[in-house]
Amino acid sequence: MNQQPKYRRILLKLSGEALARDKAGILDFDFITSVADVLKKCVDAGIQVGVIVGAGNIWRGRQGGSMDRVRADQMGMLATVINSLALSSALCAIGVKNRVLTAVRMEPIGDFFSKEKAIRLLEDGNVVIMSGGTGNPYFTTDTGSSLRGIEIEADVMLKGTRVDGIYTADPEKDSSATKFDEISFDEIYARGLKVMDLTATTMCKENNLPIIVFDMDTKGNLKKVLSGEKIGTLVWK
């Protein structure tokens, strides 16, 4: 990363679907390795990196149908741990210090999350992968990302998706949809845009945590965001 990084500490939110990349299996290890390579460059550039990975490639609580919602959501929390371990393994393979922290106790799979531990690890150059959501049912991994981003005092939340930002409508369904370069939290509410769930968005707004929504599938985009290039959509104020 040749350019001076814009941020000191980031929270990267990756969807579980991004890890599958439309392949038959639940994990695309080539893609996970490419993410690990970029995170290594971030750490080498002095950026402190926290990561949250979703579970959509394995399980979503709302898929549970007639299942008890609490149990269904707990299955989703465990799925985020599986994804986190896959990313951790990829980072270890290229010599990047990292630690998986879990929202519920499950040592030795991961250490139990605390703000103090996470920040200490970040300051020591570890990529900190925070799994298990909030540890509670009825909350999405987007809400978990907002919570952890606020707790670790991140400068920004980077939400990596398969779309290159926020649009007036779903660009895959509406060819007339136009992209926002920047948008306020209040305008998201007014337009009813589905950036994240309402709880997650409100937490970011009330705690002054900006969000950048960008296309994680395009190679080099994460590096561009970290260097301050204007790609994706910035949500702030």
225 assigned to some structural domain: yes
User: 83 is in which domain, residue-wise?
Assistant: 9-236
Give me 213's structure tokens. 């929504």
Query: Domain total for the chain?
Result: 1
Cβ within 8 Å of residue 72, ≥6 positions away: 61, 62, 63, 64, 137
171 assigned to some structural domain: yes
pLDDT band for position 23 (cuts 50, 70, 90): low
The CATH number covering residue 67 comes to 3.40.1160.10
Percent of the chain past pLDDT 90, that is, above it, reads 76
Backbone angles phi, psi at 183, to 5 degrees: -155, 150
2 assigned to some structural domain: no
4 assigned to some structural domain: no
1 assigned to some structural domain: no
3 assigned to some structural domain: no
Residue 5: pLDDT above 80? no
Determine the pLDDT at residue 2: 60
Q: Mind listing the pLDDT tens digit for each residue in 36-70?
A: 999 999 999 999 999 999 999 999 777 778 899 99
Q: What is the pTM of this model?
A: 0.93
182 assigned to some structural domain: yes
- Residue pair 168/137 in contact (Cβ under 8 Å)? The answer is no
Q: Mind listing the pLDDT tens digit for each residue in 98-157?
A: 999 999 999 999 999 999 999 999 999 999 999 999 999 999 999 999 999 999 999 999
Torsion, CA 53, CA 59, CA 63, CA 64, rounded to 10? -120
- Residue pair 209/146 in contact (Cβ under 8 Å)? The answer is yes
Determine the pLDDT at residue 36: 95
Q: What is the mean pLDDT of the chain?
A: 92
pLDDT band for position 1 (cuts 50, 70, 90): low
Beta bridge partners of 128: 50, 99
58 assigned to some structural domain: yes
Mean pLDDT of 176-197: 94
